[in-house]
Structure 1
Amino acid sequence: MNELQSILDTYDAQRNSGARLMLATVVKVRGSTYRRPGARMLMSESGTTVGSISGGCLEADVFEKAKKSVLSGEPQMVVYDMVAEDDVWGLNQGCNGVITLLLEPVERERSATFEFVRTCFQQRRRGAMASVFRVDGEFKARIGTRLMMFDNGSISEDVRNPVLSAALAEDCRNALRTAHSAVKEYRFLEGVVEAFVEVIQPPVHVVVFGAGTDAIPVARLAKELGWRVTIVDHKPALATRERFPTADALVLARPEEIADKLSFTSDSVVMIMTHNFSHDFQLLRALLPVRPTYLGLLGPKKRTELLLQKIRESGLTPSSDQLERLHNPAGIDIGAESPEQIALSILAEIQAVLTNRGGGFLRDTPGPIHAPQL
């Protein structure tokens, strides 16, 4: 399950229990760190946790610090410097970075963050959230205050300073436009404010055409990644809950019925594995003009060349951009043979496409594993 969705579910289950909850969020990193900005861990006073903010070396200390934050009732910034030789967190840990966390008590009056994320997920909308985590000097602002913006520009906030609010709103708009989170520093005459401007993306939604045996591990592994999964097939005996217990939706439809039952955009992720030439022809003809982010097709290149030839003969000439989004044979080359291995290959390629990465060996990467933080 998506980590943020797991945190939401745990929050929903415990918010009326009377148990005190604490949230730790990675808001800034420097150097080599296990988790990136946006990683979260929800903690209860009993010691249960959901999510993670490191590889395991910080969680226990973060929990103790978070309990103090609950007692004070105020959010606080905590910095773990694992570069300094005299810092116990850096000694013999194999780490070489600095992690900045925002620790917050989770209270009813501070539930707006959870509701904002929930709305983004449920309505499949993109949002941007600016969280203040550092205030230096005499500037009038509080750690933990936020400005949240939906993709239509509507804003919810508890930032009281109009100058800071305007700056945060502008950076949220930029984040929505570029789809990139960033740490921003604002310098005023009265002091300095730092905020984490985070893009909230709904979980990846992958639509799989074909409910054959090879689609089962694709659906299962996609759910392990926290993605939403829709299985589409025209055979009731195949598209069943028994075969696909983790799928979010099962759609019974023939290719010619797809337009009435499903909608697709340039953000869509689609995998075609019907093993039916006629069905693949109809699906490709309908989906190529949509230019989905990822359009995968199972089968050899010669079969696809014949499909594209038939599509051109039908009156549709796919553009180079449309063909660039078609991945065939689907997957990355890991020597996959079994259905499970093929599913891993396909999902790895989808992940690489979504993050604009090449999918090669990390050892061949000349720079850092992660893209530099803006």
Structure 2
Amino acid sequence: MANRINQLLSYWSDKRDSQAWVLATIIETDGSSYRKAGAMMMINDLGQYFGLLSGGCLESDIMRQARRCWDNLQNRIVEYDMREEEDLAWQLGIGCGGMVKILLQPVNASNLYLRLDELLNNIAKRKRVEYQQQVDELVPQNSLVPVSSIKATSKVGIKTHAGVNVFSQVLGPAPLIAVFGAGVDAMPVVAIAAELGWDVLLLDPRMGYAKPEHFPKANQIIREPFDNLSNASWLSEIDAALILTHNIKLDATALKLLQVSRAKYIGLLGPIHRTDRVLAHVAMDRDDLCKPLANPVGLRLGGELPESIALSMLSEVHAALEQTDGLSISNVLTPIIQNTQNEN
């Protein structure tokens, strides 16, 4: 199931006038919840929903509540609270133990489609915008506000704007990852990244590599020599890059090229002593790198198959983009590892 906002809106856009739609947005949570404030779901009058606001336990009731929006064409606010035994959430068997407040909004031409078409156009152009949803039970009045890269991390939540309460969040395109090298081990990298909803740019100038039939989930395949790409527009758009050509010269050229990119994360496959050879090929050392280099690349997940290595690399990319440390949440791994070592 596609859950990113661009995926939801792309599906909705093709059918926006042939079906009745409701946009459901989590505007507040307290305690444990499956999704946090800002999560969105699209619902239509065929009983279909796209995206998730819970683990599947709330969706059927949200759809029932959404029908009231079609009756009066107004917003509706619903709350599910597992902290109170009298609340409907208990009857639904929700096990998170927290509160979730959801804003339901009908989507139609009379309310300018909640500005969702404009939002989709901005995302398609890889622009970030602040999306403001009026929090009341009146006729929807949503708006878009352009944001600079500095403001692109604005806090998600309810604020007062022009005298009314609005739920505000900055929305933008899916992460764009550049994968240098299109060998067999790049196949699961592209497939898993696409499953995450990321956009994937695959680059390899070599004959016989990067065949479209082997990489159906890649958004774009570039076969030009890396030396020719210094003025490519995508360099200012990528969020992360992985270098796995298994070729010293190509790796070196790719690494040098990425120093002028927007990438927040650059990962290079291979051991440290090999990286020294890569850098030497372009007369660079580690102090010359203006961006942090993940090498060896990936998290310690174990496994040696291409799929395991791909998961390891993309897990580290994911943690970097989400600005987290990638550690175990439960710390259950320590006793497991100790017990295994004792058995051996």
Above 0.5 in TM-score?
A: yes
> Is this contact kept in 2: 1:266–1:293, CA < 8 A?
no
Q: For the structure 1 residues 331 and 316, does the alpha-carbon distance in structure 2 shift closer, same or farther, using more than 3 Å as the test?
A: closer
> Is this contact kept in 2: 1:57–1:89, CA < 8 A?
no
2:142 corresponds to 1:150: no
2:245 corresponds to 1:274: yes
The offset of 1:178, in angstroms, is 5.1
Equivalent position amino acid for 1:24 in 2? A
> 1:369 corresponds to which residue?
none
> 1:341 corresponds to which residue?
308
The offset of 1:176, in angstroms, is 5.7
Output aligned runs, 1:122-201, within 5 Å: 122-134=124-136, 142=138, 144-151=140-147, 177=151, 179-186=153-160, 193-201=164-172
Equivalent position amino acid for 2:248 in 1? F
> 2:339 corresponds to which residue?
none
- Count matched residues: 329
The offset of 1:30, in angstroms, is 1.1
Rounded to whole Å, the distance in 1 between the matches of 2:221 and 2:133 is 38
> 1:41 corresponds to which residue?
41
Rounded to whole Å, the distance in 2 between the matches of 1:128 and 1:228 is 21
The offset of 1:336, in angstroms, is 2.9
TM-score scaled by length of structure 2: 0.87
Q: Can you list the C-alpha shifts for 1:274-316, whole angstroms capped at 9, x where unaligned?
A: 11101111221222344620111111111113333454x4599
Q: For the structure 1 residues 220 and 187, does the alpha-carbon distance in structure 2 shift closer, same or farther, using more than 3 Å as the test?
A: closer
Equivalent position amino acid for 1:106 in 2? V
RMSD: 2.5
1:350 to 300, 308, 317: 317
Q: Secondary structure at the match of 1:96?
A: coil
Q: For the structure 1 residues 134 and 73, does the alpha-carbon distance in structure 2 shift closer, same or farther, using more than 3 Å as the test?
A: closer
Q: For the structure 1 residues 196 and 59, does the alpha-carbon distance in structure 2 shift closer, same or farther, using more than 3 Å as the test?
A: same
Output aligned runs, 1:279-290, within 5 Å: 279-290=250-261
Q: Can you list the C-alpha shifts for 1:144-171, whole angstroms capped at 9, x where unaligned?
A: 322311236xxxxxxxxxxxxxxxxxxx
Equivalent position amino acid for 2:194 in 1? K
Q: Secondary structure at the match of 2:7?
A: helix
The offset of 1:193, in angstroms, is 4.4
Q: Segments of 4+ in structure 1 off by > 4 A? A: 314-317
Q: Secondary structure at the match of 1:362?
A: coil
Q: What residue ranges of structure 2 are gaps of 5+ in the alignment?
A: 333-344
Equivalent position amino acid for 2:322 in 1? T
> 1:318 corresponds to which residue?
288
> 1:264 corresponds to which residue?
235
> Is this contact kept in 1: 2:3–2:51, CA < 8 A?
no
Q: Secondary structure at the match of 1:336?
A: coil
Rounded to whole Å, the distance in 2 between the matches of 1:203 and 1:348 is 16
Q: % of aligned pairs identical?
A: 30
Q: Secondary structure at the match of 1:89?
A: helix
